[in-house]
Structure 1
């Protein structure tokens, strides 16, 4: 392979710390890890940084990074050495969000690599690998572009895949893919599976082209989260988390909010030990004065106060992702304030008690108000609130309840702030509900775009009358596109390719499709329907998800996951079977 280099250090390049620079000639395998969005977005993604670290910890592997150019005519080359992507053995996509699917064919084309997998079987091209949460939930929309997916948690799946890649060195691409598909439970090679579609649009059949291929693909689950601490590998001065050292406290969430894919995909919930977290915090303190504590259930960490105390001892400021309302005690609020937290993020998600039972949020309005009191009394001046609209069974009464809860929070916020002599701000973020695979709501219809716009307009007008409260609404068009891409199948690949080539992007592409994305997104899926992602075994049973959906429609909550293994959803059974 050529050892050519190009300038990768333009004058406006971000300043980075922690980059691993290996010698090209002294390493055997070369992979470019691509985040299908811009640098500032990708470098704030802890999963992307984790995969970068996983590849580079293997002595014979070299991993560099590439991102979507800011300008369409911008050059596409690796950050570290400025090499074109075709110089690498492997182009690996790390994909967290479905709306980035459209950038996959665009990046392949810009790299000089044929977009469709079958077009790469003649000629010498890099192997196209893909993974990430969006792929694990439903890889099918981009399946025709990808040679092999690795489904599940990267820390669990990447090492065994690398061993097979090494064992098959010198094999043809077809032989290599056959061996991967047969020998790695989490490896999915789309071209080895035929799918038939009904005239009405659903899936008629899905079958392997050879009988010895697995009918289901197992999503990898990291058994012991202490084995690989998930934290920042490269610090950068660009992006939302610029100069932040991020630490993931664990994987999964016990509460089972029915809209949340992370709460079901990452079962069973697992927390890192205090010793590991303190070690990572100290490592981060040597690199940055700001430590971001991330996780889907940060406030459930049993020893969170000890982590905060260690942060004070290390002289760093801690920032936290959203905290559960029912976990905010006066003591925790005081600890957050002592850490210098200026804005606390709460996620009531719904305004009415009924809707919170439907989504299994597990909190009531009294707890929301008490959390607000505790935070403001402790000296945290600003609040951020997250709400969703368009949830299953939602009525206009529930929409009005969102505004009413915001007004109540504002009144309590103002009352407590005046006692302290300073009044901060309340920022409200409103997002449309998007049904996701591997959740109880995977069968649910999404609200039509027109109805979502109507609901957003009502909330915007009413919240606009509440002083000192700002409201941001996710673009409805983006939400609807995500809703379609989240649950569609391989037939979407043609539209993705066309949109990636169109100067206007998605504009006009969807209207000319044989399948109607609006109809697909807003229809109720029957339990009998074969869903595009049904072949993926995440450990959580379909029967359990169906039961949770039925409970949601009845407005019945479910208890959270116990911290000890149980048999309710099936994930713990799989976890026990796979644990050595």
Structure 2
């Protein structure tokens, strides 16, 4: 029954604390959408922060939208009910703007589903003035928006919390204008750094299929500059809406720092969130005090939590206030005793660490210079503190990888298992290891953006090799992403505008990617298995990430030579990698 869809939305609202409800009269209306389920979307701090910041404007009404579960999606279609917002159950197509916050390429097909369910034409060119503007932000918009350029009117490049006021001002001016033509609005938006209007750029191609050039139309910038927040302390990022119906429902989440200065050459987040910035201990502990009113456990969020210069002070403060903590992962080379002890007191038994490569040689290649002995010492230190279970992350298919490096994953895992067992046994626990093995995907704006991805047959063989090598070793569970899905992710992260045709067809075929490949004339291998020349125009070259291309080329060459790069300096100004003017410990 259709009423059940509305009741389900009201039921979710009834279990929330901190939601915002406004009346529609005379306001700019924004439907903020996370293209996955409520449980996943509401676990995303960035999504919650954008919702909160938009609603700080008195003349803005922002309501949330999520992808329905498959059963509910069927009901929307069968009853011909347009997808609606959570707060007021207003049809999405009645809002002024549909704003998408996108974190994963796997959600691209969900974006098209949401447009369909909202009764909004998929392609920008097929929409009229009566339809909402469709805007997309998030890390996926920042590193390569091109595969979605047929479907998204406006992209925001960078950290959305940096430019919300400017964007709202532009929309406000547009809403008051007598002539409300899209072209005028786009021209006004283009004066804001970070705004990218794909329809204002023409792309030409060579006979080889590579991009020849990207040309802006008159009045639009040649390069779109990535935006980033200069001072995080002005607007702390923490759980704004409290609900048990999320992946982290038992925690109050707080961002401790943003960015990572370790220069791991495969890591998109390390380059996309540069420069490294830290919240002050005072600001964090104020958020902790608020959070402990709602939850006993504080979830500390960040790319490199252990690198925060205030982590010990933060841990002391949480302990004194009677709270417990959880963290996403730990850096082996910067373990804080206070952090590990508080994790143990908090009831944590599992530590997540990421050696990434099995051999020391390959770790030098990717600039993750941690020795086997350092890894084992850290494991013993954490096990002694009571963290007896471990989740280990490894990548396969990295540049220069050989079978010896795969053997090294097997051998290092066994040595870690032995180190755990020596200590954990005395505590009455054998210790469990979850080994997460995932294919390496060369990402934009990293030194590996010119590399090819290893073929799925070879990747499957390496996974089989690891499983065989650890067969019979007790208390080790191996999980991995299927290489065929990594293939699709690589296509979406490295593709150009023509990949939009594949997305469109895949939506028609209900998400069947491999049938899509068979029924279209676009060869995905061109984007995935082809090594690029340093001089080739890449689909994302018209985006200025703040990091110099020559620096990435230098890092790519150093990788081949197994030369490492020092981390970002912890204090002072640095322009080593680009024109960010990084100032550490802000």
TM-score tier after normalising by the smaller chain length: over 0.9
Aligned length: 569
TM-score (norm 2): 0.94
Structure 1: gaps spanning 5 or more residues: none
Query: Paired residue for 1:495?
Result: 502
Query: Paired residue for 1:44?
Result: 43
Q: 1:369 aligns with which of 376, 379, 388?
A: 376
Query: Paired residue for 1:194?
Result: 202
Query: Paired residue for 1:157?
Result: 163
State the SS of the aligned residue for 2:234.
coil
Q: Does 1:106 align with 2:113?
A: yes
CA RMSD of aligned residues (A): 1.8
Q: 1:148 aligns with which of 154, 160, 171?
A: 154
- Please tell me whether the aligned partners of residues 348 and 385 of structure 1 are also in contact (alpha carbons under 8 angstroms): yes
Moved more, 345-354 or 379-388: 379-388
State the SS of the aligned residue for 1:497.
helix
Query: Paired residue for 2:279?
Result: 272
Query: Paired residue for 2:79?
Result: none
For residues 475 and 369 of structure 2, the distance between their equivalents in structure 1, rounded to whole angstroms, comes to 28
Query: Paired residue for 2:190?
Result: 182
CA offset at residue 346 of structure 1?
0.7
Q: Does 1:399 align with 2:406?
A: yes
After superposition, residues 45-60 of structure 1 pair within 5 angstroms as 45-60=44-59
Alpha-carbon displacement from aligned partner over 1:383-425 (angstroms, at most 9, x marks no partner): 1111111111111110110011000000000001123232231
State the SS of the aligned residue for 1:456.
helix
Query: Paired residue for 1:355?
Result: 362
CA offset at residue 324 of structure 1?
0.6
For residues 241 and 544 of structure 1, the distance between their equivalents in structure 2, rounded to whole angstroms, comes to 38
For residues 483 and 503 of structure 1, the distance between their equivalents in structure 2, rounded to whole angstroms, comes to 20
Q: Does 1:19 align with 2:24?
A: no
For residues 290 and 184 of structure 2, the distance between their equivalents in structure 1, rounded to whole angstroms, comes to 39
- Please tell me whether the aligned partners of residues 344 and 384 of structure 1 are also in contact (alpha carbons under 8 angstroms): yes
Alpha-carbon displacement from aligned partner over 1:43-75 (angstroms, at most 9, x marks no partner): 111111111111111111111111111123243
- Please tell me whether the aligned partners of residues 8 and 80 of structure 1 are also in contact (alpha carbons under 8 angstroms): no
Q: Does 1:73 align with 2:74?
A: yes
CA separation of 1:472/1:461 partners in 2, compared to 1, >3 Å: closer, same or farther?
same
For residues 306 and 446 of structure 1, the distance between their equivalents in structure 2, rounded to whole angstroms, comes to 42
After superposition, residues 80-479 of structure 1 pair within 5 angstroms as 80-120=87-127, 122-169=128-175, 170=177, 171-210=179-218, 212-328=219-335, 330=337, 332-479=339-486
TM-score (norm 1): 0.95
Moved more, 486-495 or 501-510: 501-510
CA separation of 1:269/1:201 partners in 2, compared to 1, >3 Å: closer, same or farther?
same
- Please tell me whether the aligned partners of residues 161 and 180 of structure 1 are also in contact (alpha carbons under 8 angstroms): no
CA offset at residue 6 of structure 1?
5.6
For residues 240 and 337 of structure 2, the distance between their equivalents in structure 1, rounded to whole angstroms, comes to 34
State the SS of the aligned residue for 1:440.
coil
For residues 511 and 221 of structure 2, the distance between their equivalents in structure 1, rounded to whole angstroms, comes to 40
Moved more, 364-373 or 332-341: 332-341
- Please tell me whether the aligned partners of residues 332 and 353 of structure 2 are also in contact (alpha carbons under 8 angstroms): yes
State the SS of the aligned residue for 2:236.
coil
CA offset at residue 181 of structure 1?
4.2
CA offset at residue 144 of structure 1?
1.2
For residues 519 and 183 of structure 1, the distance between their equivalents in structure 2, rounded to whole angstroms, comes to 35
- Please tell me whether the aligned partners of residues 268 and 571 of structure 1 are also in contact (alpha carbons under 8 angstroms): no
CA offset at residue 238 of structure 1?
2.2
- Please tell me whether the aligned partners of residues 204 and 213 of structure 2 are also in contact (alpha carbons under 8 angstroms): yes
Alpha-carbon displacement from aligned partner over 1:310-344 (angstroms, at most 9, x marks no partner): 22222222001111111125554333312332211
State the SS of the aligned residue for 1:292.
strand
For residues 501 and 14 of structure 1, the distance between their equivalents in structure 2, rounded to whole angstroms, comes to 36
CA offset at residue 8 of structure 1?
5.7
- Please tell me whether the aligned partners of residues 201 and 515 of structure 1 are also in contact (alpha carbons under 8 angstroms): no
For residues 27 and 477 of structure 2, the distance between their equivalents in structure 1, rounded to whole angstroms, comes to 53
- Please tell me whether the aligned partners of residues 206 and 212 of structure 2 are also in contact (alpha carbons under 8 angstroms): yes
Structure 2: gaps spanning 5 or more residues: 77-82
- Please tell me whether the aligned partners of residues 499 and 509 of structure 1 are also in contact (alpha carbons under 8 angstroms): yes
Query: Paired residue for 2:80?
Result: none
Moved more, 552-561 or 375-384: 375-384
